[in-house]
Amino acid sequence: MNVLVLGVTPSPVSLILKELGYSVVESEALVDVHFLKRKAIDFAVSYRYRHLIRKPIIEYLRGNIINLHISLLPWNRGADPNLWSFLEDTPKGVTIHYVDEGLDTGDIIAQKEIFFENSVETLATTYMKLNEEILELFEREWPSIAKGKAARRKQLGRGSFHSLKNRKRFESLLAEKGWDTPVSTLVGKAGRLSRE
- DSSP sequence for 72-85: -TTTTEES-HHHHH
Pairing of strands 23-27, 2-7: parallel
Residue 172 DSSP one-character state: G
Q: What are the tens digits of pLDDT across the range 121-178?
A: 999 999 999 999 999 999 999 999 999 999 999 999 999 999 999 999 999 999 999 9
Q: What are the tens digits of pLDDT across the range 17-49?
A: 999 999 999 999 999 999 999 999 999 999 999
Residue 98 Cα to chain centre, angstroms: 11
- Closest to 135 measured CA to CA, from 4, 5, 13, 3: 13
Average pLDDT, the chain: 95
Flag the least confident range among 95-104, 108-117, 137-146, 166-175: 166-175
Long-range contacts of 115-121 (CB under 8 A, 24+ apart): 116/92, 116/183, 118/86, 118/182, 118/183, 118/184, 118/187, 119/182, 119/184, 121/182, 121/183, 121/184
Q: Which residues contact 176 (CB under 8 A, 6 or more apart)?
A: none
Split at pLDDT 50, 70, 90, the class of 191 is confident
